[in-house]
Amino acid sequence: RTIEWRVDADAPKSEELMEAARLLREGQTVAFPTETVYGLGADARSDEAVARIFEAKGRPSDNPLIVHIADRAQLGALVLPWGELAERLMDRFWPGPLTLVLPAAPGAVSPRVTAGLDTVAVRMPSHPVALALIAASGCPVAAPSANRSGRPSPTLAAHVAGDLAGRIAGIVDGGAAGVGLESTVVEIEGETVRILRPGGVTAEALREVAARVEYDAVAAPGAAGSATAIGQAPERNAPPRGPGHTSLSAAPAVQPAADTAQAPALSADAALAPRSPGMKYAHYAPRGVMELVQGEAEARRAYIQREAHAARARGERVGILTFDEHAGLYDADDVISLGSLSRLDHAAQALYAALRAFDDRDAQRIWAEAVPETGIGHALMNRLVKAAGHRVVRV
Residues in touch with Mg ion (CB under 5 A) = 145
- Indicate the DSSP class of residue 225: G
In the complex, least distance from residue 282 CB atom to Mg ion, rounded to whole angstroms = 12
Our CB check for ligand TXA shows the closer of 280 and 365 to be 280
Our CB check for Mg ion shows the closer of 99 and 145 to be 145
Residues 129-148 that bind ligand TXA (CB under 6 A): 143-145
66 is an interface residue for ligand TXA by CB under 6 A:
yes
Binding partner of 135, given ligand TXA, Mg ion, none, CB within 5-8 angstroms per partner class: none
User: DSSP readout, 306-374?
Assistant: HHHHHHHHTT--EEEEE-HHHHTT--SSEEEE-S-TT-HHHHHHHHHHHHHHHHHTT-SEEEEE----S
Q: What is d(CA 8, CA 128) in angstroms, rounded to the nearest whole number?
A: 9
Nearest to 253 by CA among 217, 216, 290: 290
Our CB check for Mg ion shows the closer of 144 and 234 to be 144
In the complex, least distance from residue 115 CB atom to ligand TXA, rounded to whole angstroms = 7
In the complex, least distance from residue 186 CB atom to ligand TXA, rounded to whole angstroms = 9
User: What values do phi and psi take at 233, rounded to 5?
Assistant: -70, 140
Out of 197, 317, 365, 378, which residue is the one contacting ligand TXA (CB under 6 A)? 197
Our CB check for ligand TXA shows the closer of 181 and 393 to be 181
Q: What is d(CA 4, CA 89) in angstroms, rounded to the nearest whole number?
A: 35
Binding partner of 221, given Mg ion, ligand TXA, none, CB within 5-8 angstroms per partner class: none
Residue type, 239: P
Q: In what order do the strands lie in the sheet with 365-369?
A: 334-337, 318-322, 365-369, 289-294, 392-394
Nearest to 56 by CA among 37, 40, 45, 67: 40
Q: In what order do the strands lie in the sheet with 39-43?
A: 3-6, 170-173, 30-32, 39-43, 141-142, 66-68, 119-123, 98-103, 184-189, 192-197, 212-215
Our CB check for Mg ion shows the closer of 145 and 276 to be 145
Binding partner of 304, given Mg ion, ligand TXA, none, CB within 5-8 angstroms per partner class: none
In the complex, least distance from residue 287 CB atom to ligand TXA, rounded to whole angstroms = 19
Out of 70, 195, 206, 279, which residue is the one contacting ligand TXA (CB under 6 A)? 279
Which residues sit at the interface with ligand TXA, rule CB under 6 A? Answer: 34, 36-37, 39, 63-66, 97, 99, 101, 114, 117, 119-121, 125, 143-145, 182-183, 185, 196-197, 275-279
